[in-house]
Each structure stands twice: as C-alpha cells, then as structure tokens.
Structure 1
Amino acid sequence: MAARGSGEAVVVSGGAGELVLMWAGFPLLGAGLGAALTAASGWVAGLPWFPFQGWFALLDRWPEERSYPVGAGLAALAGLVLAFMGTRERLTVTVGRTSVRLHRDGHGRDVARAAVTGVFLDGRALVLLDAAGGELARERSDLGPAGLRAAFTGQGWPWVEQDPYGSAYRRWVEGLPGLPAGADALLRARQRAVDAGRGGEAAELRGELARLGVVVRDEGKRQYWRLVAGPPDRDGVRR
C-alpha cells in the first residue's frame, strides 16, 4: 500500500508494486501452473471429479512441443484476466481537509468532510457515517488500516477504531418485526443476490435500503441490519 501527498491531500492506494505484482506475477504464476498441469494432464484426465477432463485428455495426446506452449499460454492468459479484474477493483482514497474522493474502476465520488461524523474500517470495508448514523459510503478494498488511519487523522477527520453502532445490529430473519414498510422485501431480494454472488445487485439493494433508513452489514452470507434516526424525506434529509 502507498500513501502520498497530492497538494494538501493524501492519496492512499495499492501503489505501483501492487500493479507489478498483478500484471507480472499473475501471468507468471498462471504459466507455471499451466505447465505443471500439462505435465500431469494424463493423470488429471483420469480424475472423474476434475473439471475440463476432455481438455486435459487432448493435451495428453498432443506432442510436448505443442501441449506445453498451449497449456502454459492459456493459464498465463487467465492470469492476465485476473490482473485486469484486480486493477478495475482497486480503490484509491484521496483524503483532503474538506472532502474525500473514493475512486474505483474509472469512477469516483466525493464525500464532504462536513457531512461525516465517523470513519472506520469494518473488516475490509471503509465506512463513512453521517450524523444520524447512516452510511455515506462503504467501500471494500485491500488498503492497509495504518495508511488509511494516518491519512484521515492527519487531515483532521473523525477516525474511530470500531463501529460506534456495532451493538445496534440485528440479524435479519424474514418477517422479523421492527423494519420499515418494504424493507423486508428488499432484504429478501438482497439475500438472494448475496447467496448467488451478485455483488452489484446486492450493492444496489443496499442503497435502496439506505433510502428507507436501514443500514445493512454482511457477515459471510448473513445479513445484519439496524435503523438510523429516520428515513430521508424528499429533500434527502432524515428527520
């Protein structure tokens, strides 16, 4: 992880080393794994539980001068695909005195310092809270806690070591009372998205729940929820 100044702001990112690791390390690792699997292709093709058995049987029939370049090359290509996906998912956090910019996959959003009453890490997620306890942002990343803490505290932001509302969460069970109208249906739909690994849909439904004044936290595939001071009105203000 790298933290550097940008004028008065501090930028926290994975740094150039992370990019080198992904774009050089992943393809090399893939090529090595592909060569090893090619060498064992005859044995692998005989394992009934192993996927792509037909492919390994084909590699086993080919001469070595053909099978090794193909097997290693395809695995290296898979490593490049992983590097591309990892690069897109990298989060860059630019912390200034009056705002923070959260940038990922070519898109960025700014959160004003005046709206934030708490900043903390919930596992691997960076969370920014408003005065009512709602989440202004929740962004997952591999950025180190020390660098993020130093960046925010150095710029005068209210960093806290743990979620101040941690004890308010309740595990979601379908039909449980206490939720605003419509929230149970959204949580039910979100549970299906979480179970199926549809992260984009789960994030979208998190936003819909936030509009009802419900904050959601995941622990594995289990959802936990709490209420904020009140749902926002038409002007986006909670009463």
Structure 2
Amino acid sequence: MTRTSADLGFAPLDRLLVTCGPAALGLLLAAVLPAVARWALGLGVVLPFRVVFELVGRVDTRWEFAVLGTILVVVGLFATAALFEHLTPITVAFDQVRFGRTAMSRSAITALFLEGDTLVVLDRESRQVVRCEPRARRSALAATFPEFGYPWRDADPYADLYRPWQPDGELPPEADAVLSARAVVLTKKAGKEAGELRAALERLGYSVRDEGGRQFWRPLVRSA
C-alpha cells in the first residue's frame, strides 16, 4: 500500500541515544570525575579553573556522589532537550513538506540536498529557503524524498557557480557590504545573524555558502 505521508524523525537507536545518552553519560562522569580530579591535582601543574578540580576532588561520600550525579544527570537532560529543539522533524507528503513549523509546497521546491549535516532546500529562484539539521539520517532522506516525487540531489546542483568572495571585488557595493558584515558575524559564530545576512544577500540576487571559514557567492538562478 502506498504511503500518503512519512515522518522523518530519529531512527529508533538514535532516539534512544539522544534521550538516554546524555543522562547516562552524566552518571558515568559522576563516578569517575572525582578520581580524575584528584589525579590531576596531584600532578603539581597549573590547572585552569583549579577551584573546580578541588571541589570535585573532595567528593568521596555516597551523598556527595549522589548530589554530583544528580547535577550531571540534570545537565544531561537539558542537553537532550536542546537536541530535540535543535534537530528538525520533517513530515513529507505528496503535496507539501513540513520542516518543523515551516511548510513548503512541492511545486515551490527545485532541489533538496545535504551540506554537511545541514539540509538545504532551494526554491524556484535557487534561494536557500530552508536550512535545518534534520533528525533523520541521510539514507532516510535520500530514500523518502524521491519516493514522494521531490527533487533530491546528492550535492548542490549549483556548486560549480560559486566563486570565492573578495572585498571590493566584482559584486555591487551593497552586496559587498552584506558579505563584509557577514564575515565579521561568522568570526563571532553568530549563526542567527549570519542567516539573516544570507537572506539579505538573496534579496539582492545572490546566494552564499561557507567553506573552511571563507564565503563563496553565486548569482541566483531562476528555474523554468
């Protein structure tokens, strides 16, 4: 029977690891960190945050281990919550795709591909209208999108058009200004601001991608 939709979320093992792994790691760290801290203090070397090593190294009773374990488990639970928030669930149907809270019709999508761990969705003007880190693995994405008739690509179909950005190069001044501002933002690892400047550059008719700390640009390409 043909599926009418598919939910692309965590694989069962991935869900288990994301849900329980950080808390389990917290318990493991609670068991070994005091001994590691005492060993490091005994080396006689200058330690950054030495006071933290001293506090952890003093843990040696059951209730102290319980307190430390509780703290690290709670930290692990916060890490799990952050992963669920950061990684995007995707629902694919024949007429549209939902990326978290964002929905796009199939007719508006001209390409989907992975750029590292980031899923990139291009519209009919080759703008990167969606950039997200999916919960599903690459194999699930590559199998499901074609099944529902979407143009999945193994790589960026416009990769050959990108050129390295040079200040005061061949771009108009307003595009250069956006890329200059974005270069500063990238050094600060401000992802939200970098995304906003990417959208501003696309409004000027150009797309940008990052490789090894450098920016590469290309003109937008309208699909037929």
- The TM-score with structure 1 as length reference comes to 0.81
- The range that moved more, 125-134 or 65-74, is 65-74
- 2:116 — aligned with what? 123
Distance 1:144 1:20, change over 3 A: closer
Aligned residues: 222
Pairing 1:1-239 to 2, within 5 Å after superposition = 8-15=4-11, 17-45=13-41, 50-61=47-58, 63-103=60-100, 108-141=101-134, 143-177=136-170, 179-229=171-221
- The range that moved more, 81-90 or 111-120, is 111-120
Deviation at 1:109, TM superposition (A): 0.8
Q: What secondary structure, in the 3-state scheme, does the structure 1 residue paired with 2:72 have?
A: helix
Q: What is the aligned-residue RMSD (CA, Å)?
A: 2.6
Q: What secondary structure, in the 3-state scheme, does the structure 1 residue paired with 2:89 have?
A: strand
Equivalent-residue separation in structure 1 for 2:2 and 2:174 (angstroms): 44
Identity of aligned residues (%): 33
Deviation at 1:63, TM superposition (A): 4.3
Q: Is the 8 A contact 2:161 2:218 kept in 1?
A: yes
- The range that moved more, 119-128 or 14-23, is 14-23
- The TM-score with structure 2 as length reference comes to 0.86
Q: What secondary structure, in the 3-state scheme, does the structure 2 residue paired with 1:40 have?
A: helix
Equivalent-residue separation in structure 2 for 1:15 and 1:185 (angstroms): 43
Report which structure shows greater RCO (CA 8 Å, sep ≥6): 2
Equivalent-residue separation in structure 1 for 2:85 and 2:41 (angstroms): 35
Distance 1:190 1:69, change over 3 A: same
Q: What secondary structure, in the 3-state scheme, does the structure 2 residue paired with 1:182 have?
A: helix
